[in-house]
Structure 1
Amino acid sequence: MRIAIDAMGGDHAPKEIVIGTEYAARNNSDINYVLYGEESEVRKYLTDDLSNIEIIHTNEKIEADDDPVRAVRRKKEASMVLAASDVKEGKADALFSCGNTGALVAAGLLVVGRFPNVDRPALMSTLPAFSGSRQEFEFLDLGANSDAKPVNILQHAILGTHYAKDIRQIENPTVGLLNIGTEENKGNDLNKKAYNLLRDEPSINFYGNVEARDLLNGLVDIIVTDGFTGNAVLKTMEGTTSTMKKVIADAILSGGLKTKLGGFLVKDAISQLGDSLDYDKVGGAILIGVKAPVLKSHGSSKREVVEYTLEKTKNILLSGVIDHMAEAFSE
């Protein structure tokens, strides 16, 4: 099993990518990790001479502000593109990057290739749930397709269903459509048509509409929406979480003795809450609908997130979910 890693993608590349990969390699001696990037820079941060880490040298990389499609087509020697090419050619089994999201989506679509009969792949992440029997749910699309069609949302629901069955071992996962109300006739034209398609699709267990205020309440196993809405909601959640942590910390530090004492007594509980909101610990987002696992973490990801995402990549490869998705869309 070989995982291709874009060592030059992200705000803290290559240092955090290399160190995170080394963490993963120590714990998974049966997996080969291939780092694509400037060899002298990559070697600078390797501390162990591990036999399951390989470096493929390249001087070129895709920048954060590059046009995604143009960069993938023109920068053939970029670390991300070389890694994607090796996945396409069967020299590696999966691709991971913290780099330009648009470029990674383009590399997944144009280089790795999508499944036949899947019109557009989607970015999907696992998010925490805080009530009911569910502790987490799958959320897609997170931004791969800003302009979606109803059939895209249907296909994403089917892909997400296979993922939940194979990765999370849920026998009959439920699917909800993110909307402005729970009634069947709510929403814009896209959501109304998507609702009808989801309701009539026999291969999924459609729950109905889910409002944004219930997103974290564990109503369903999978929530689908268009990429524009999904990305906006995800970033709102990230911003809210970050702001609330800061507000609580500032309130404690600026309060009197009783406030500080109370803060000291509840600091473990606050820390646990922060950990439960940190969905990076379940690994990055996966681009589903392409022929091999393509995973993406934040550009600001540090070594721990890299390790979590590489562990997630391993589990996806072992599960066989990609083959099951391909089979579902082969007809």
Structure 2
Amino acid sequence: MTDAPDKNMKPLRSAAMIASIADPGMRTTKAPFGEALVKAAAENERIVGLSADLAKYTDMHVFAKAYPDRFFQMGMAEQALMMAAAGMAQTGLVPFASTYSVFATRRAYDFICLDMAEPELNVNIVCALPGMTTGYGPSHQATEDVAILRGMPNLTIIDPCDAVDLEQAVPQLAASPGPTYTRLLRGAVPRILDDYDYTFELGKAKVVRPGDDVVFVSSGLMTMRALLAAEELAKSGIEAEVVHCATIKPFDADTVLSRIDTDRPVYTLENHTVVGGLFESVAGAMARRGIGRKIEPIGLPDEFLDAGALPTLHDRYGLSTDSVVDTVRGALRRTA
């Protein structure tokens, strides 16, 4: 027997479950991936777009409207989407295939592996809802997508921070000779890297913000949170360095390890389970170089996560700016 519903409880609106990842007051750009793809397609007639019935929800609809003759709607069949994209690449086209991360990684792995990665075809898989960018629970939260794909040979994995990253990444992805997987930020996407001396470079990590007290090694939207947390920590005299890993694979060990082989506390920040993602990429690189020191992961736990309002979930699982600030301050107090 279940309790009667609380008549005073407000129903959870779906908008709260797909809320923007932008913090209040942040500048945003609408559909930066779609707009960047349109711009790239104007300069490269070989670029085509495909979707598995989710063009509107992956910002591919912007491309479809601009180039209807170069857009292909494959229906709810992710395996067919990947096979078609691979076939187009085999003929010399440059496909960008979009769907949700859970569908591409969990349903179509074998097709990505054998039809794209093994022959090293230039297919660019661009997937929305990576990690916890939706509140719709485990069926839509691709918290393990990087872990699934990191072991695949020849595949480049991109985890952009914001609209700036996406805008600069698209033409480089189109020019890359092998397959790529990009964790898409969709809709109203924040732009924070404009405030720093930053340019996206495929395969490279970048020191976005210097700092003498703490090092943040971050990827994806957690670089945005790392930068915001660094600004907040600076108000109390704690200077945090932020190293942004927009490319997860291949991993730029030289840049990252040169910044963490110091006496400063090191944190990895990722919108992904701490199993198989950025944290373990950093830890593995350290072990291979013989660097024996502690790093603390800030990321999602190794479990199926709750559904709910996205801002609430980010607080609950430690991805919010306030959570990052609290984690660092608490650790520094314990070691003072």
Query: What is the TM-score when the length of structure 1 is the normalising length?
Result: 0.32
More helix by share: 1
**RCO higher in structure (CA 8 A, sep ≥6):** 1
